[in-house]
Structure 1
Amino acid sequence: MNLSDPSSWKQKLSNSHQIGGIETSVLDNGTGRGTRIAWVNTGTGLRYKVVLDRGMDILDAFYNEHSLAWLSNAGHVSHQPFSNQGIDWLRTFGGGLLTTCGLSSIGPPNEDETGQRGLHGNYSNTSAELISIKQPDIYIGNLDFEIVGIIRETTTFGPSLELKRSISGTLGSSKIKINDVVSNRGNTPAPHMVLYHINCGWPLIDEGTRIVWKGEHQKRDSDHLLSDFNKKHKFSTCAAPLDGHSGFGEDVAFIDPEADHMDQVTCGYMNDQLELGLGISFSKKQMPWLINWQHWGKNEYVTALEPATNPPIGQAAARENGTLILLEPGEKRNYDIELEVLRGMSVKEFNL
């Protein structure tokens, strides 16, 4: 189906939802009961669920019959704004194609003279204020769609950060475009860190799926604890389930990614057997780090590529080593990520 050629469908449709678009609803059962969501159908086989009450992050994502995202045992959990102490964040972590970490701390629980912060910050347990939904308009030939919302991380007398998120695309294109604008709405400098947890699972992720990236893997003091699999494969391919990844077992790489002449970093997952892939691109200037998290636990089988402003070391450590971003009052930062589903020979030819 070639939606880019209007002559193939002009005057044959009454309603654009016959092709695709955005549909909002509220869940009425289970741990996500009462949560606002938006299903997005791109008309290409790519469809995904935006969870409005979890920072407009993306949970389920499918291409035709194939799931792209990893879902945790918890699955869809309603937001819990005060689940922000220690590792409480893990209790509500549903996985999903996109989980945003921040906006003021990413990484482990940490504290210093400025306060205490839990694992990966407050963002993903914060509801969005929905600003607008733009649907495709088949009658004027405009196939673009967009959903926009605002998420606030704020406290009286303290830092006040605001993120305006736009998720957009075009019917007939298997791309997801995410634009975030983070602003300091307070009257004092505000600490800022952000990381985009792009979590993928079976069947896209399977034994032998290629993890494609280009750059320099930073040596860490904990590298001697890496699995034998990654000591050999160096974060370039997906493993079978590993006994050593039961419980908290994991392998993590901090990558200084290489950008092209347009400042774009390209990476992704390529399943050559299925001829199915997910390409990820972002700006090196906006996010100079790429993290690869691998957790090959039995029945908990996942890997994530994670563009980030900093390695996930926590606000206190970033402040100590001088890498913490401090947004001045009124200052803004833009973050752009594009996800694209690849099929056929484009998967096998995806090399950097």
Structure 2
Amino acid sequence: MNKLSSGLIGLGALAGVTPALALEQVLIDTDKPAQNWSIDSKQLGIETDKPFSITVRTLHGGRQEGVSLIDIDNGSMRITVVPTRGMNVLRAVAGDVKLGWDSPVDEVVNPAFIELNSRNGLGWLEGFNELVTRCGYEWIGHPGLDNGELLTLHGRASNIPASKVTLSIDEKPPYTIRLKGELKEKAFKKVDFAITTELATDPGSLRFTLNDTLTNEGDYSQEYQVLYHNNFGPPLLGQGSRFVAPLKQVSPFNEKARAELSSWQDYRGPTEGYDETVYNLVPYGDDQGNTLAVLHNAAGDLGIAVDFNTNQLPVFSLWKNTDTKGQGYVTGLEPGTSFSYNRSLQRPLNLVPTIGPKEQRNFQVGFSLLPKKENIEAALKKIDEIQAGRGIEVKEAPLVKLDKN
């Protein structure tokens, strides 16, 4: 499972035959009281090279009061999921390597304490500190008016507590651990979405996958947008770090990004006053649409691969927020159905898809830690194979004209 090639193949297999289970346990439900709970491989009678455990805990104090966390320790990586915040992944830690970042938001904020309409639609930022932040599903993008309605930053998904969370563990090797959540985005006369999420990992693996399904439970077609805001700081991010992916097109998000277009793949160290730059990318996929993006450090001996399918998530946003460490030194590797412009600006780009009544859309994203130089070299070779010698179209001008940069 640690090899990137097997991970890409695995994306298509997630929807296969349901295996026999060693455990299936409802951890959170609307009719269950909050609980602290744990289970481990020894209790289950499972012998693996890397013993594993799963723990449910509830946070107290400050704006994280009442937040549920689920820690999946697969023996090599400890993955923390936040059911209270859209089943987002708070962090993943393998040895002394942390996947995630250090946000000035140092609490896991309960959505009950967040007003998305505040700060001119930027209230979402008051809870933003996760490794994986789901954006959508009715809309994503920068705040602003669309047909007279104020759309807040990146939608509601990350501030929807899961209605139900179920843990399952296969009874046969590799004893895959799956955490499934159910989210509901519903408003009378507006939207009737149900989202099922799944995080899967194997004992001893340095990889986890997300497998999400959006269902339009309404009687009418509905616009939707999805973006996976995957965020990484040190030790993956630093002076000289580099981003690599098989690409068809690159363009600057705005005029500020345009000024640095010649170095869009490369990263600065923490830089006071830098703020952020964003680039719009259109990736290539293989014959099945599978593709990947890699971020690696300057030495080329530590990195992360994010794999996804371009038939599901056809575009990609690269967010470079290389400001000071205290301000939040972070980059986002963000596959999506759409870029990060306001929804009103993306219809002319054909990046506001629709979903018919009772229809479903699936989104699968994998994360593989690349702990050695040879792992990074293998991932970069895969990227070269998908690129297949094709050039990258670099657009000098942003795709849309913004009032402010």
Distance 1:27 1:198, change over 3 A: same
Which stretch of the first structure deviates more once superposed, 61-70 or 300-309?
61-70
Question: Normalized per residue, which structure has more helix?
Answer: 2
- Aligned equivalent of 2:81: 50
Q: Deviation digits for residues 68-106 of structure 1, max 9, x if unmatched?
A: 201311132112386222111112212x21001111111
- Aligned equivalent of 1:233: 263
Which stretch of the first structure deviates more once superposed, 328-337 or 257-266?
257-266
Within a 5 Å distance, the mapping from 1:156-171 to structure 2 comes to 156-171=188-203
User: Contact between 1:272 and 1:347, CA under 8 Å: does it hold in 2?
Assistant: no
Distance in structure 1 (CA, Å) of the matches to 2:253 and 2:94:
39
* RMSD, aligned CA: 2.3
Q: Deviation digits for residues 5-56 of structure 1, max 9, x if unmatched?
A: xxxxxxxx83369711322111123431210111011212x11210000000
Aligned partner of residue 177 in structure 1, secondary structure: strand
Identity of aligned residues (%): 25
Question: Where does the alignment leave 5 or more consecutive residues of structure 2 unmatched?
Answer: 3-40, 384-405
2:140 pairs with 1:106: yes
User: Contact between 2:292 and 2:307, CA under 8 Å: does it hold in 1?
Assistant: yes
User: Contact between 1:22 and 1:38, CA under 8 Å: does it hold in 2?
Assistant: yes
Number of residue pairs the alignment of both structures matches: 331
- Aligned equivalent of 2:369: 341
Q: 110, 120, 127: which is aligned to 1:92?
A: 127
User: Contact between 2:85 and 2:160, CA under 8 Å: does it hold in 1?
Assistant: yes
Q: 292, 301, 312: which is aligned to 2:329?
A: 301
Distance 1:115 1:82, change over 3 A: farther
User: Contact between 1:81 and 1:125, CA under 8 Å: does it hold in 2?
Assistant: no
- Aligned equivalent of 2:312: 286
Q: 250, 254, 264: which is aligned to 2:280?
A: 254
User: Contact between 1:211 and 1:269, CA under 8 Å: does it hold in 2?
Assistant: yes
Distance 1:227 1:321, change over 3 A: closer
Distance in structure 1 (CA, Å) of the matches to 2:348 and 2:297:
41
Q: Displacement, 1:315?
A: 2.1
Aligned partner of residue 294 in structure 1, secondary structure: strand
User: Contact between 1:159 and 1:189, CA under 8 Å: does it hold in 2?
Assistant: no
TM-score by length of 2: 0.76
Q: Displacement, 1:211?
A: 1.2
Distance 1:258 1:148, change over 3 A: same
User: Contact between 1:108 and 1:312, CA under 8 Å: does it hold in 2?
Assistant: yes
Distance 1:243 1:58, change over 3 A: same
2:95 pairs with 1:69: no
Distance 1:280 1:221, change over 3 A: closer
2:153 pairs with 1:119: yes
Within a 5 Å distance, the mapping from 1:135-284 to structure 2 comes to 135=169, 137=171, 140-220=172-252, 222-223=254-255, 225-226=256-257, 230-234=260-264, 236-245=265-274, 249-271=275-297, 273=299, 275-284=301-310
User: Contact between 2:183 and 2:194, CA under 8 Å: does it hold in 1?
Assistant: yes
Distance 1:21 1:135, change over 3 A: farther
Distance in structure 2 (CA, Å) of the matches to 1:66 and 1:276:
9
Instruction: Give the letter for the 1:179 counterpart.
Output: N
Distance in structure 1 (CA, Å) of the matches to 2:315 and 2:348:
18
Aligned partner of residue 89 in structure 1, secondary structure: helix
Q: Displacement, 1:289?
A: 0.3
Question: Where does the alignment leave 5 or more consecutive residues of structure 1 unmatched?
Answer: 3-12
Q: 318, 324, 327: which is aligned to 2:352?
A: 324
Instruction: Give the letter for the 1:237 counterpart.
Output: D
Which stretch of the first structure deviates more once superposed, 66-75 or 173-182?
66-75
Distance 1:115 1:231, change over 3 A: closer
Q: Displacement, 1:133?
A: 0.5
Q: Deviation digits for residues 93-147 of structure 1, max 9, x if unmatched?
A: 12x210011111111112233622111111101101224201355xx54521101
Q: Displacement, 1:313?
A: 1.5
Aligned partner of residue 220 in structure 2, secondary structure: coil
Aligned partner of residue 31 in structure 1, secondary structure: helix
Aligned partner of residue 157 in structure 1, secondary structure: coil
